[in-house]
Structure 1
Amino acid sequence: MSGEAGEGENQEDLAAAWGAALDQEQGGKGAEGEAPTSGEATRVLNQAEIDSLLGFDAGPSRESAMSGIERIISSGLVAYERLPMLEIVFDRLVRLMTTTLRNFTSDNVEISIDVMASQRFGDYLNSIPLPAMLAVFRAEQWDNYGLIVVDSALIYSVVDVLLGGRRGTAAMRIEGRPYTTIERTLVERLIGVVLGDLKAAFEPLCEVDFRFDRLEVNPRFAAISRLSNAAVVSRMRIEMEDRGGRLEVLLPYATLEPVRELLLQQFMGERFGRDSIWETHLAEELRQTDVALDVVLDQQVMPLSQVLGLRVGDRILLSTPPGAPVSLRCGDVALFEAELGRRESRLAVRIDKVRPVPPTPTEDAA
């Protein structure tokens, strides 16, 4: 028993020495900057790290940006339907603004759309780079609001151009102060030009008037929709030689709801389930079609046996007196009332009255 106890002590001593050597080797590799070993890869997370991963760190020192699973859930925007006609409207807006801003600034202006996407309204407000000016406008016919955001670079560029700044020099920027009355007034004039072009861009689709409501510098005061509601954002880049900036137009889906069916069209003037060209062609061909009209002189009811007994040479006496009105029919539909007469050696009718065409069953259901 004593021999076995000695062997056990020797094995424990060897295991302890082997573990100490491994610890020294791992420590040396960590100091030399080599890759971590398998012992470090299996490290267990503590409670603070787990709370941070799950987004449960709700203490007063928590950052405004969410993390972990909470961030994944909140950023999962629903895939809203695309509005093909809205893309055409914004392309038309870019062409119109290129001309009007050239006249407005008396400078060479180039405008391009960077991106057009769907985004939650709350996420968009949090992503606005400050300082900026937020113009709230109202769509009169749609009874709702939209938003135009002008960044600081474009603000100072427009102010510099309108006040006679030299070409080829970058606009002066003075950060850390509120915008002056002159700057706000000039930006309001720019917003008025953009709203006029936006109205003209929508004219081929529908008639809508955009009215400037107010100008804000704090995104919290420009809340025109619920933070969780979706909106369409079009980001445009405006270049004036060496100056320029970004202008963004935001339209909530609630604002576009009255014209949603029009914006779902694939091209301008599309009719759902109908083809106007084919309808016109069909109508023209129908007008050239020969139609047989039957003159009904009299109607009589007789038993089937009498009808079957009719032979060649039998006579049927008509009870319609001379000069009585007769009916002109196309199939089973009575179209006209006419007077029977004679022209040379042939019977003829003169139309005196047009009968109203009875509605079809589909029209009754409608």
Structure 2
Amino acid sequence: MSDPTANEDQDAMADEWAAMMEGDDEDDDLDMSAAMGVEPGSNRVLDQTEIDSLLGFDGDDDGAHDTTGVMALVNSAMVSYERLPMLEVVFDRLVRMMSTSLRNFTSDNVEVSLDQITSIRFGDYLNSIPLPAMLSVFKAEEWDNFGLMVVDSAMIYSIVDVLLGGRRGTAAMRIEGRPYTTIERNLVERMVHVVLSDLSAAFDPLSPVTFRFERLETNPRFATIVRHGNAAMLAKLRIDMEDRGGRLELLIPYATLEPVRELLLQMFMGEKFGRDSIWENHLANELWQTDVQLSAVLDEVTCSLADVLNWKVGSHLPLTTGPGGMVELRCGDSPMFRGRMGRRKGNIAVRVEQELIEQPDEVEG
């Protein structure tokens, strides 16, 4: 038979332990809530604004999502165009040259302006192209890679209207929902050739390159030139012809710019990295005035270790070089010259007759 009193004591002890455990859990919850900044006992739920801020999709600022939240992690491998200062110089030249060449091409008053230069992933850009549009694929011959030029619908109809004699003061007529005609494609292709010629000339002071027109596409799927995840540089140009005009966008993958990356990193034209010509010239002049000690080696004899150990004071070491033999001049361990020994003005001298300095071509060979 069990003792009722003992059972009651055990139950009371179990209830006490349970109460102590619950108290510890509550203390831990309070500590965790305090660390997270959440009031105890409340189930905190993030609202839409906080979720957008966390993910980096803040609608108030168009560029905020590039540097905050998850998008900052996604785009952490992107190369900012600001790290390539010479790109702005190249596109400034392009804008000035296009203004002149397009005036000659259209016989109209043309103003070209650069809206912005940004970095973007190629796949994201293809998905953001407003259709209909014409996508021109061009190749950089010397760099052996491709680029993309996009002409929007407004620019296409404006060029067609101007080149075919449309009256000034009237906006270009836009007819949507039909494919572009052969005439429209040919006129746009002529304009693309003009822009590519100016782009080649804009890069000439930096690095000679020829941009060659490849093909004209209207479907972005057929204008893929790199993988969708690859980073690219996007330049948006605005072309105004009085009350007509449109946009022209140049997209050049960073893989295409890689051969001239060191040149694009310059802060100004002709900048040299890690070199100072003044100190180079000073060092070269000082080297010519440096004193160098030469050793004249009369002869070399090979002896066994036993013979060397048997040497005593007065031992003779025969040399095979005669009075008219050749003597080798060395600087340290490097042979420099070979000549004949004699006397000149009471001093022992060596007349150089053969040069032993190895030339760089001979070393590589």
Q: TM-score range by the shorter chain?
A: 0.5 to 0.7
Whether the 8 Å CA contact 2:295–2:332 is kept in 1: the answer is: no
- Tell me the CA shift for residue 293 of structure 1: 4.7
Q: Point out where structure 2 has 5 or more consecutive residues left out of the alignment.
A: 1-44, 53-68
Identity among equivalent positions (%) equals: 55
Report the counterpart of residue 252 of structure 1 in structure 2. 253
d(CA) in 1 for partners of 2:340, 2:157: 85
Whether the 8 Å CA contact 1:293–1:328 is kept in 2: the answer is: no
d(CA) in 2 for partners of 1:345, 1:201: 70
Whether the 8 Å CA contact 2:299–2:327 is kept in 1: the answer is: no
- Tell me the CA shift for residue 172 of structure 1: 1.9
Normalized against structure 2, the TM-score is what?
0.63
* Correspondences of 1:174-189 after superposition (within 5 Å): 174-176=174-176, 177-189=178-190
d(CA) in 2 for partners of 1:98, 1:351: 68
d(CA) in 1 for partners of 2:171, 2:341: 91
Q: Name the CA shift for 1:343/1:250 in 2 (closer, same or farther; >3 Å).
A: same
Q: Name the CA shift for 1:129/1:291 in 2 (closer, same or farther; >3 Å).
A: same
Report the counterpart of residue 81 of structure 1 in structure 2. 79
Whether the 8 Å CA contact 2:115–2:236 is kept in 1: the answer is: yes
Amino acid at match of 2:251: L
Q: Name the CA shift for 1:219/1:282 in 2 (closer, same or farther; >3 Å).
A: same
The worse-fitting range, judged by mean Cα deviation, of 149-158 and 274-283 is 274-283
Whether the 8 Å CA contact 2:297–2:329 is kept in 1: the answer is: no
Query: What is the RMSD of the two structures over their aligned residues, measured on CA atoms?
Result: 4.1
Q: Name the CA shift for 1:294/1:265 in 2 (closer, same or farther; >3 Å).
A: same
* Correspondences of 1:291-310 after superposition (within 5 Å): 291-294=291-294, 296-298=296-298
* Correspondences of 1:1-366 after superposition (within 5 Å): 77-79=74-76, 80-82=78-80, 83-84=83-84, 85-165=86-166, 169-176=169-176, 177-268=178-269, 274-275=274-275, 277-278=277-278, 280-282=280-282, 284-286=284-286, 288-294=288-294, 296-298=296-298, 320-343=321-344, 345-357=346-358
- Tell me the CA shift for residue 335 of structure 1: 1.7
d(CA) in 1 for partners of 2:293, 2:71: 71
- Tell me the CA shift for residue 345 of structure 1: 4.8
Whether the 8 Å CA contact 2:297–2:330 is kept in 1: the answer is: no
Q: Deviations over 1:217-261 (max 9, x none)?
A: 232332333333332111112233443321100122343345445
The worse-fitting range, judged by mean Cα deviation, of 157-166 and 320-329 is 157-166
- Tell me the CA shift for residue 275 of structure 1: 0.7
Q: Name the CA shift for 1:342/1:107 in 2 (closer, same or farther; >3 Å).
A: farther
d(CA) in 1 for partners of 2:250, 2:332: 60
Amino acid at match of 1:78: N
The worse-fitting range, judged by mean Cα deviation, of 113-122 and 195-204 is 195-204
Runs of 4+ in structure 1 over 6 Å off = 300-304, 316-319
Whether the 8 Å CA contact 2:338–2:352 is kept in 1: the answer is: yes
Q: Name the CA shift for 1:328/1:241 in 2 (closer, same or farther; >3 Å).
A: farther
Helix, strand or coil at the partner of 1:78: helix
Whether the 8 Å CA contact 2:79–2:231 is kept in 1: the answer is: no
Q: Point out where structure 1 has 5 or more consecutive residues left out of the alignment.
A: 1-44, 55-71, 311-315
